[in-house]
Amino acid sequence: MKYRYLAKSAWKHLRSGLKRPYMAMLETTLMCNMFCGYCIFGEEGKFNDLDFRARRERIFQRIDELAAMGVFALSFSGGEPLLNPNTVDYIAYASGKGLWTSMPTNGLLIRKYADGVARLDMLEVSIDSLNPARFARRRGLNGLPKILDNLEYVLKKRKPFATQINAAVNMENLYDLPELAEFAKQRDLVLAPEAVHNVMRGGKLLPDAELHGEEIDQVESYLGELRAAYPKNVRFYSHYYQFYRQGGFGPQFPCRHPSKLISVKPDGSVHLPCAFMTLFKSQAPLEEIFALAEVKSIISQETTLWDFCKGCKIGCPYEVSAFANSSRLALESGLNFLRIFPGKKAGGSTAAAKSPGVGVDSA
């Protein structure tokens, strides 16, 4: 991210009374080459959107519009974002403009696009277990050795602390986390565990994959211990588990995706209220879209939400909303960003002790 861009954007936000969106998520393709059991994109052949190849110029224009609006951060997502060969060009373009860029990826193609992903401010590689058999069972592909090999290669080209391991967690892989935390510590990476939650798309849900009752408590307390054992390398929002227990977004914790996080689809269209449900879509320029009465009306409903939002606990809208809803969580997010994680020092952590072969962190 460029500091000049940051300062100019901050000024635009202040002048607008902090009403502007400050993040965007570009789904570069909805296709995927993995089959994760908990993910809506994991169903083979469900999303075939090859026309994204023709939309290159439209996406560059959208990035220009995001920069003109003063959006600080752009996340490239999917499906698997690197299945779109244009993605690395979008990353270079956005980062050249000064936006802070990030991208989650399953890691299968990061070696092929190593120079491109080296430009990301934050590269997030999704690895939810270092046990190859469990990884294959959860992610639908025996890809762990290749992904680890790709990761080691890419790490030679970028600052390690700007690389994160994303781990979707449930009871099946909870006790694999200390090994992942140790892996992260040895390479100076960040481990970001996130509880598996149901993700709705266009009103459709996969079979229930969420944590329930005591499982939520178990995951929360185990993660707390893990963070205490690995204070520099494990990050998650403590409040997320309270939010999860309370059933996700609702009037007590509104979803700010409609007003703060712009969803851009592979064809360049902007969708509202969110990336997961479309009540409005348009190819018009961003400033025009956000001036429309229809869009203002959708945004005005984000405090009460819609029926389809019931139970929604999706991670990226949660992070954006945490920032907007609570100054304490905004501070926690800032500290997370600087890798100053709350949590006490290690001292016989059960999280580390429960994991065979992984010692208690002495850092």
25 binds, among ligand SAM, ligand SF4, none (CB under 5 to 8 A by kind): none
* One-letter identity of residue 79: G
Which residues ranging from 160 to 199 are in contact with ligand SAM (CB under 6 A)?
166, 168, 194, 196-197, 199
Q: Which residues contact 315 (CB under 8 A, 6 or more apart)?
A: 194, 197
* Alpha-carbon torsion (282, 20, 242, 106), positive or negative: positive
- For 348, the token pair is 């016989």
Residue 273 touches ligand SF4, criterion: CB under 6 A: yes
Question: Binder to ligand SF4 among 25, 67, 130, 274 (CB under 6 A)?
Answer: 274
Candidates 30, 39, 190, 274; binder of ligand SAM (CB under 6 A) is: 39
Choosing among ligand SF4, ligand SAM, none, which partner's interface includes residue 317 (Cβ < 5 to 8 Å by kind)?
ligand SF4
**Residue 80 lies near ligand SAM (rule: CB under 6 A):** yes
Q: State the nearest-atom distance from the C-beta of 196 to ligand SAM, in Å.
A: 4
Nearest CB to ligand SAM, comparing residues 199 and 264: 199
Contact 113, 88 (CB under 8 A): yes
Residue 94, C-beta contacts closer than 8 angstroms, at least 6 positions apart: 63, 66, 67, 74, 101
> Which one of residues 24, 39, 67, 190 is an interface residue with ligand SF4 (CB under 6 A)?
39
Query: Using only C-alpha atoms, what is the Rg of the chain?
Result: 20
Q: Which two tokens stand for residue 18?
A: 């902090």
CA angle 349, 355, 356 (to 5 degrees): 125
The 3-state DSSP class for residue 139 equals helix
Q: From the CB of 180, what's the least distance to ligand SF4, in Å?
A: 16
Q: Which stretch binds ligand SAM (CB under 6 A): 98-106, 154-162, 287-295, 334-342?
A: 98-106
Choose between 87 and 259: whose C-beta lies nearer to ligand SAM. Answer: 87
The smaller minimum CB distance to ligand SAM, of residues 243 and 290, is found at: 243
Size of the site for ligand SF4 (CB under 6 A): 27
Sheet holding 278-282, edge to edge: 190-195, 163-169, 122-126, 100-105, 73-77, 23-27, 261-264, 270-273, 278-282
**Rounded Cα distance, 168 and 38, in Å:** 9
| CA gap 96, 258 in Å, rounded | 27
Please list the helix, strand and coil fractions of the chain in percent, rounded to the nearest 5, in that order.
45, 15, 40
Q: Which one among 29, 75, 77, 86 touches ligand SAM, defined by CB under 6 A?
A: 77
Going by C-alpha positions, the residue among 128, 115, 96, 73 that lies closest to residue 323 is: 73
Partner from ligand SAM, ligand SF4, none contacting 277, C-beta within 5 to 8 A by type: ligand SF4
Distance between CA 311 and CA 204 in Å, rounded? 13
Question: What binding mask, one character per residue, do residues 195-234 give for ligand SAM by CB under 6 A, x or -?
Answer: -xx-x---------x-------------------------
* Residue 130 touches ligand SAM, criterion: CB under 6 A: no
Interface residue list for ligand SF4 (CB under 6 A): 32, 34-36, 39, 41-42, 78-80, 106, 126, 139, 200, 249, 255, 257, 273-274, 276-277, 305, 308-309, 312, 314, 317
Interface residue list for ligand SAM (CB under 6 A): 32, 38-39, 41, 77-78, 80, 104-106, 126, 166, 168, 194, 196-197, 199, 209
